[in-house]
Amino acid sequence: MVRVSFDADLDLSTEDTSLVIGAGSIIPIADFAGIGGAGGFDANSISTYQPDPATNLDNEIFGDMVAGTYFPNWPVVENALYERTDFLPSTAAASPLSRSFLIRGRRTTNSLGLDSVPDVSTSAPPLAFLFGLGTSLQPINDSGNVYDPRRDGLSIRATAIADAFPALAVTTGPDGRGLLECGISTSDGSITALALSTDYWSTLGAGSPMSLTLDAGQIVETATTTTVGAAVSVSSLTQVGDELILVPANDGLDIADAVATSTPRAVLLVQPGTTGTIRVVAFGAMAIQSAALDGVTNAMTIQALRSPETIASERASVHSPSAWLAMEPSGPGEIPGLRAAFEALPGRLLSPVLVR
């Protein structure tokens, strides 16, 4: 995303020279005999900095991208070693499961040797002081290794932190992304999705196997035939608090979306609503192992694992005004008991939020 943000045509495979976009110009300063002996530059030597963050797989705290834990109530202080009071990096082994993520860009002198470490950190030269006619100020005589902005330019650092919160809204999408779908109704064109009861979900631990059969609108545990959910009709956007209509038949069931990817999928977690409906309480995530459709009965069977708290890579959001109103105590759209039920559920689907 960083690379694309600074790419003129938003296509990293091409080069668009008609528009120069980047994180500032790189202007090499030379000791030309200019006004008062000031330095200068050759206009032909100017280039534009195109950030290309390093992956930092060892999760060093000074890296371009760092996984860890964010502390929202701590003061924002970062020292010269890039150690922060509001962010604690994870170990390299634990970093894939971290809920918070920091990314930084910089233009520095790399005086401590932390800003240009292969595969860990990247930087461009600092910004030069330029004044009238493109000249630069003279360095302070005998400044030695002491930072001198006239000689060393301006160091620039930018940092952003994302944290994960339970998702309040999820959209459907093609190619196995977004909410887990199980077909399109041939009668009215509505999308059919799986909805699991909150009671059933709460009995499952992270990694628990699930063997489910969807038939005649009901989802049952294949081994016990206990009803644990239902098929429902959804629009492209589904939010916590929505009341969804039950789908009674095996109309238009399809396993294509279920098996499109091996990554965890968003699934509806629900409680009974009014007659013939269910209420969305939260979203969970399940990793589909296999799915099959009976050619005679059109019943669908799914083998899956209940995922731990999973951060959605896309198509999930915490920005859902309708959901917030539905959970707001004594608010105009409050649904009694919804907030308590939402907060009590384990293994909710998470969505990243820019917090710093």
Q: Which of 302, 283, 289 is nearest to 262 (CA)?
A: 289
Amino acid at position 346, single letter: P
Tell me what pLDDT residue 266 has: 93
> What does pTM read for this prediction?
0.79
Tell me what pLDDT residue 39 has: 54
Torsion of CA 247, 252, 256, 257, to 10 degrees: -30
Transcribe 121-174 into DSSP letters: ---BPPBP---GGG--PPPPTT-TTS--HHHH-B-EEEEEEEEEEE-SEEEB-S
Tell me what pLDDT residue 229 has: 94
Q: Which of 125, 140, 108, 146 is nearest to 38 (CA)?
A: 140
Give the CA diameter of the chain. 91
Q: Where is mean pLDDT largest: 158-167, 173-182, 321-330?
A: 158-167
Q: For residue 314, what are its two tokens?
A: 């896309």
> Worst-scoring range by mean pLDDT, 101-110, 121-130, 135-144?
135-144
Q: Which of 244, 242, 240, 243 is nearest to 191 (CA)?
A: 244
- 224: alpha, beta or left? (left if phi > 0; alpha if psi -120 to 50): alpha
Tell me what pLDDT residue 269 has: 97
Is the confidence at residue 51, as pLDDT, over 50?
yes
Q: Which of 61, 60, 30 is nearest to 43 (CA)?
A: 30
Going by pLDDT thresholds of 50, 70 and 90, the confidence category of residue 34 is very low
250 close to 216: Cβ distance less than 8 angstroms? yes
**Mean pLDDT value across the chain:** 87
Tell me what pLDDT residue 40 has: 60
Is the confidence at residue 167, as pLDDT, over 70?
yes
Top-confidence residue, 343 or 130: 343
- Domain chopping of the chain, boundaries: 168-351
123 close to 115: Cβ distance less than 8 angstroms? yes
Top-confidence residue, 204 or 45: 204
Average pLDDT of span 22-48: 67
Going by pLDDT thresholds of 50, 70 and 90, the confidence category of residue 174 is confident
Tell me what pLDDT residue 236 has: 85
Tell me what pLDDT residue 45 has: 77
Is the confidence at residue 148, as pLDDT, over 80?
no
Tell me what pLDDT residue 85 has: 95
How many CB atoms are located within 10 Å of the residue 63 CB? 25
Going by pLDDT thresholds of 50, 70 and 90, the confidence category of residue 284 is very high
Is the confidence at residue 33, as pLDDT, over 80?
no
Tell me what pLDDT residue 139 has: 56
Tell me what pLDDT residue 67 has: 97
Average pLDDT of span 250-273: 87
CA–CA separation, 18 and 295 (whole Å): 56
Tell me what pLDDT residue 313 has: 82
Going by pLDDT thresholds of 50, 70 and 90, the confidence category of residue 228 is very high
Going by pLDDT thresholds of 50, 70 and 90, the confidence category of residue 131 is low
Q: For residue 321, what are its two tokens?
A: 């005004």
Tell me what pLDDT residue 1 has: 86
127-130 long-range contacts (CB < 8 A, ≥24 apart) are 127/24, 127/153, 127/154, 127/156, 128/27, 128/29, 128/41, 128/153, 128/154, 129/153, 129/154, 130/27, 130/41
Is the confidence at residue 124, as pLDDT, over 90?
yes
